[in-house]
Amino acid sequence: MPPSIFHRLILTAGFLSLFHAAYSAAQHRSYLRLNELEFTSLPLDILIQGVTSLFVVMYGVLYIAGDFKEIKASAELENKTWETYRNIPSFYTFNHRGKAFSPQYVQMNSKLQIEEIE
Amino acid sequence: MNDLSNLSWSEARDLLRTWRDDNDRRSEEVLQLWKSVLEYNLNKLGGEKFSVLEQVCLAALDCYQIPTVDYCIKQLSNEFPSSLRVKKYYAMRLEAQECYDDALTVLDSLIKKDETNNAPRKRKISILRAQGKNVEAIKELTEYLKIFMSDIEGWQELSDLYIAEQDYNKAAFCVEELILHNPHNHLLHQRYADIRYTQGGYDNVELARGYYCQALKLNQNNLRALYGVYLTSSSIAASPKCTAQKKKEMLKLVDWALLEIKKRYSVVKDTFTDNNIEERLSVLQIS
């Protein structure tokens, strides 16, 4: 399934929101430092925003990263047949009937025959 | 065949890619696609261009279309002038023209240049095979496998060669080696069982039954393994060496396999009413 525009938008929105949460957290820390307050925890809204945007990003990524692979190790081989599996290109031999169908080979053959006759 | 010519270049590219990945030897179709579509759109292929050229080159060698072969080799060697991989195609062209001695000289020089390159060594073995010298090919291939022990293709070729020479024990050993490399592949288990079943004898058939069952376990759609289970277990049940307890088990397995086979057929064809399947299967059996 190709990633749709909708899911791309969700992913972008999720990332933006995540960065915004990070930026807010940094802002909060600098605010605390300026006012010489002690850091206890992040404000609740930043926390919620961070966690929600994490889930939004996860949702978007799931649709964009492509299809899942089967967990079974043999799943990819399920539809293979011996006919294609046994075929090894690096051991091809060309000494077979394929030649006989080629117009060029017939020429060579008849040339040989002519030479033999001569 | 006719609708191949009407494909767009991107469809043709995708089709060639699936064939390349699956090792499908569809040389005629590849050539047809090449001549009708891809030859004029070669530069649109981008980075895939050279893989396609190699594929077409092989297909053309298969069909003895020497001008196409020359064109592909020229394109490739323009891009990679000193590549040994491209030079290998020169040797293969000579091989297709049955100039085996010239091909061997080229291959030997390639091996000298790069001892670790296994492709030209494989071609040398294929040449022996093309000449019908199976025994020498086996000898050469065992030498090759001493150096490149983890080459799966080599083991597979060796097992094929041994089967051609009817040396089933050694062929089975090669397939064992393949199973070690790839234990989840149902086709290898099936192949091993095929070899053992061909060998015959109570122990071998028993072994074959186990491997057919394993193949079936790895892939439930493997109908050949299902037939194998049926044939081997019925032949075990009929053997005089078989104990009564075991015979009972085997007959159960026979029934199950038959039922499964019938189920597969009825899925494909709802109107399947053939009751003679048992009779027809028994024709296949080795007695």
The answer to whether A93 contacts B129, with C-beta atoms less than 8 Å apart, is: yes
Interface test with chain A among B18, B187, B195, by most A beta carbons within 10 Å: B187
With respect to residue A109, please indicate whether it lies within any of the assigned structural domains: no
Secondary element (H or E) of residue B104: helix B100-113
What percent of chain A lies above the pLDDT cut of 90? 32
Domain that holds residue A1: 1-100
Query: Mean pLDDT over residues A9-17, rounded?
Result: 93
pLDDT digits (tens, 9 = 90+) for B213-237: 999 998 888 899 999 999 999 999 9
**Domain total of chain A:** 1
With respect to residue A50, please indicate whether it lies within any of the assigned structural domains: yes
> Which domains does chain B possess?
1-81 (no CATH), 91-172 (1.25.40.10), 184-266 (no CATH)
Query: Mean pLDDT over residues B2-31, rounded?
Result: 83
Q: Which of B130, B186, B191 sits opposite A77 (nearest CB)?
A: B186
| Nearest chain B alpha carbon to A77 | B185
Sequence-separated (6 or more) residues with CB below 8 Å from residue B116: none
With respect to residue A106, please indicate whether it lies within any of the assigned structural domains: no
With respect to residue A87, please indicate whether it lies within any of the assigned structural domains: yes
B231 C-beta neighbours (distance < 10 Å), count = 22
pLDDT at residue B1 in the model: 47
pLDDT digits (tens, 9 = 90+) for B77-133: 998 888 888 999 989 999 888 889 999 999 999 999 988 888 999 999 999 998 889
On chain A, the residues whose CB falls within 8 A of the CB of B224 are 82
With respect to residue A118, please indicate whether it lies within any of the assigned structural domains: no
Query: Mean pLDDT over residues B193-217, rounded?
Result: 93
With respect to residue A67, please indicate whether it lies within any of the assigned structural domains: yes
On chain A, the residues whose CB falls within 8 A of the CB of B126 are 90-93
The CB-based long-range contact list for B1-10 (8 Å cut-off, 24+ gap) reads B1/B29, B1/B32, B4/B29, B4/B32, B4/B33, B4/B36, B5/B32, B5/B36, B5/B37, B7/B33, B7/B37, B8/B37, B9/B37, B9/B38, B9/B41, B9/B44, B9/B45
Distance to chain A for B34, nearest Cα, Å? 16
The answer to whether A93 contacts B122, with C-beta atoms less than 8 Å apart, is: no
Distance to chain B for A1, nearest Cα, Å? 16
Interface test with chain B among A69, A71, A74, by most B beta carbons within 10 Å: A74
Specify whether the CB–CB gap between A21 and A49 falls below 8 A: yes
On chain A, the residues whose CB falls within 8 A of the CB of B186 are 74, 77-78
Average model confidence (pLDDT) across chain A = 83
With respect to residue A108, please indicate whether it lies within any of the assigned structural domains: no
With respect to residue A116, please indicate whether it lies within any of the assigned structural domains: no
This prediction has a pTM of: 0.77
